[in-house]
Amino acid sequence: MATAVSEVAETCRAAKRAARVLARTETSVKDGALESIATALEERMGEILAANELDMEAGREAQLGEALLDRLRLDEGRVRAIAGAVRRIAALEDPVGEVIDGRRLANGLDMRKVRVPLGVVAVVYEARPNVTIDAAALCLKSGNAIVLRGSSAAGNSNEALARIAAESALAAGLPEGSVGLVGGGGREELAELATQRGSIDLIIPRGGESLKQALQAVASVPVIYAASGNCHVYVDRTADQAMALEIVLNAKTQRPGVCNAAETLLVHEELAAQFVPRVLEALTGAGVLVRADAASLALAGGIGGALVEPAAAEDWDSEYLAPVIALGQVGSIEEAIEHIARHGSGHSEAIVTGETAAARAFQLGVDAACVYVNASTRFTDGGEFGMGAEIGISTQKLHARGPIGLRELCTFKYLVEGDGHVRP
């Protein structure tokens, strides 16, 4: 396989060669390769965990913080879950060859619009070693070769996982170069990867705004940005308060360090006197730091002590990825929608309400990849959406939006058949 010391250009060229074979590889062969990868992950558990512990030790020394360390950490349960996700992807219907549209044209030609692989997908990601396998499995199932570029923080974990995936895929009959890895080096390496126009068909970055900005500055190949998640929960005036408390706690605390965790809580001012003290007690009791606007601070009454503090202007635009949440009040659903439009990232937004009209207004008015009514933002996930896994959550509007799964890793071609037809 291509290793961390390989030249970026050669890794990409090898992937391009592999992609030509993968595009016409039978589903059974791809599924067999995924099963081989899943089995190898379980059988080589010790190798994976030893590599991950090296990254964890370095991360603790570098004081990465608990949220980042949680994203980096692998244990036996997480590795088995990764293997399970590979098997779920293998069990999904193969999108390649799916007829999207088809008809006989007026001139007698038979035309079909058929789903086909993109070719070579490069995935650039930070401190999440599970992405190595999730991305590889999705790309292989959809007939694409993949070039992986993880962060140096997860370098040992990524190398071990990519090696296992590449070796297993090759042994199962997929072409060499189907899974490639380039090191988590500096920006020069990133720039070289992002300009491989003859080899790379798409780059998907999965990380923070700094990664997005770095790619925007140099990329000459198409990019789908799996961008940050400044997600909101809006509690409307007719919300069931018990339901709202449960949704807010889940959205913020179930796993704070992920992009679909809530970062801002908005409360209708008509409900605030009853709900704000209750939610402050619940959030601070769970160890969440609440940065509240003046109206909400006035209702705190000492609840939460030092875990409740005034919000600053930048809090409304922050993706904390930590047990921190901004809390504000709004006077109407229109004001909530406007706040989200001004500060949200287009990822996942939720309303808790008892009114159908309010729910509909929120669904129509909020511009985001995923909009929830009476449910937590934490469901924005390829696995939860029945995709097996996802490479990231696209906040763009072209080609792919929301979880990037098998079909989002495909394009299409028109297959046209005639019987000696020529155009007059």
User: Could you read off the pLDDT of 73-89 as tens digits, one per residue?
Assistant: 999 999 999 999 999 99
Q: Rounded CA gap, 266 and 236, in Å? A: 8
Residue numbers of the domain that contains 303: 231-379
Q: Rounded CA gap, 199 and 183, in Å? A: 18
Confidence of residue 226 (pLDDT cuts 50, 70, 90): confident
Lowest average pLDDT, out of 57-66, 76-85, 172-181, goes to 57-66
> Is it the case that residue 184 has pLDDT exceeding 80?
no
Q: Work out whether strand 348-352 and strand 231-235 pair parallel, antiparallel, or are unpaired.
A: parallel
Task: Compute how many other C-beta atoms are within 10 angstroms of the C-beta atom of residue 213.
Answer: 9
The pLDDT assigned to 3 comes to 44
Lowest average pLDDT, out of 50-54, 124-128, 273-277, goes to 124-128
Sign of CA dihedral 337, 403, 317, 353: positive
Question: Are 222 and 244 in a shared domain?
Answer: no
User: Is 13 strand, coil or helix?
Assistant: helix
> Is residue 117 within 8 Å of residue 15, measured between CB atoms?
no
What interhelical angle do 155-171 and 27-43 show, nearest 10? Answer: 130
Question: Are 152 and 286 in a shared domain?
Answer: no
Domain assignment of residue 13, yes or no: yes
What's the average model confidence in pLDDT over 399-420?
A: 95
Total count of residues recorded for the chain: 424
Does 229 or 141 have the greater pLDDT score? 141
The total of structural domains in the chain comes to 2
Question: Are 45 and 156 in a shared domain?
Answer: yes
Question: Are 129 and 40 in a shared domain?
Answer: yes
Confidence of residue 313 (pLDDT cuts 50, 70, 90): very high
Question: Are 289 and 256 in a shared domain?
Answer: yes
Question: Are 222 and 269 in a shared domain?
Answer: no
Domain assignment of residue 422, yes or no: no
Q: Rounded CA gap, 279 and 244, in Å? A: 9
Question: Are 235 and 279 in a shared domain?
Answer: yes
Measured CA to CA in angstroms, residue 144 lies from 22, 23, 96, 376 at distances of 6, 7, 10, 33
The neighbouring-strand residues paired with 350 are 233, 372
Sign of CA dihedral 9, 168, 149, 394: positive
Question: Are 193 and 281 in a shared domain?
Answer: no
The pLDDT assigned to 188 comes to 83
Four-CA torsion 340, 346, 352, 358, nearest 10 degrees: 70
The pLDDT assigned to 182 comes to 92
Task: Compute how many other C-beta atoms are within 10 angstroms of the C-beta atom of residue 193.
Answer: 25
